[in-house]
Structure 1
């Protein structure tokens, strides 16, 4: 029996409505906040509320769950009241909306209520509500879209952090920015909170010492200190940094991951002759990351870099259970990298 062909997800309809940045949101009769990045979505929705509230303090704010929806609610909360106050309706869970909500929301596109701003939050986790989204993107309801795509790559996280400080008219040194982003590489919510804390607490420019004072206890920050000193060939300081990190409670796994990430970047950049900007664009990196990798490569050869990568791969397996002594595995890795010679050689 021939298996049925797999159905692919429907393609996203081409949008004809204005695309607005989540950093500079604006009200509209209908606002589609799309994409999985909750930090950006929350900022956009909060920004719309602040703008409407500043225009008219009598703003009525209503929250609706599209996945737990009572018939008639949307029309009821968007209809003008006796005194005609402006209305903001925030709808969550559109990606898992009920049939009733979908029917009423599609009908609402044809007759949006005067004085009402309806914000629809769709994470993109499913194609549920596609008919509604396609209608909005086709221009029905006089709407706008605020896209909040996932922030996954290192370069995207750097862009996010840069935007935080730029929006606050705050200067942060590049090395401090790198340390900060590295310290919160796995959680954009925590990175956003850290940026805002520095912005609010530090009166002047932010340097590496400031970031170290606030967040030096983060495992990833210690990990990159170990990686930097080892790759620079500073054997003694690298071992001291490793032991300090372990004594502070650092997990061996992210320590190896930090070294591996730097070595991978060096390997990608090694032997290239393109300008930093061209190479960065091709590799999905930042110019300064390319420049840093090229500085790190000074004194390295193809053979020593390959040996370091092999040692790191071995340490990665050992700290994940292949060895009973992860500390020895780490020390051997650091020794090979910092001395650029075989262990015991």
Structure 2
């Protein structure tokens, strides 16, 4: 039997992961009993209970307006459904939400924080994993995504790089791909209006997504490169609790065009440089680092952020980020 089928060796490893996931779910929900088929158990291995996600909106800097909108349009409908059922389907939580913008701007962190705040189980799906299965297996796994989500709701099904699978359809699409897209849309449409299941997609290429899928994600949030105020909030959060002898505004002024993850890496680089300087200084002095007590590193300074080059030289070497225009 092939290892990618439910009875294969990879499936046995997946069963162990599924058992561990089930144990975590039952810890969060005492008394929870699930009757799962082999395909649902495979998907179960990708489930993270909300109390184990480890990301909150407080960990995300500079995205207050998006968070406020998510609170009103997604979180409260999931957590207080009786309030949003007063006007029938008009105010119910959307079945689909899209986060789009350049890489490194916090889309995945928002997705996880959204699940944690909503107290929703989080299923992170990479469609490439689904597509790698044998003919017939992929359809069953797609079906299992939705059937499992229904059993463990409230649930957020997160699909990163959603454009890789739900790109604009064409006559050159493989038959299996076309079938899977149709199957996914049918199951998506079949979600109960009273259910608490959300499909959440993330992409840096929204224009490549098929229009039929875009219509199923009526709530769309542009997660763009941070402006000056947002960079200040991100840097303040990353540097919180550390000693530094510069004004954050100095860094803000020279980091235009950097994403949130770029800024975090810049700060990590500064810490590495400062630590390396301390090590080399003491090695040259003949000091035994392992026997040193009360080690105290100097406060970070601006030069720590840029090695031995000028700030402008360092920023010129940063990875290019993709600019994404708003989606209609």
> Under a length normalisation based on structure 2, what TM-score does the superposition of the two structures give?
0.43
Higher relative contact order (CA 8 A, sep 6+): 2
Q: Which has the larger radius of gyration?
A: 1
> Under a length normalisation based on structure 1, what TM-score does the superposition of the two structures give?
0.41
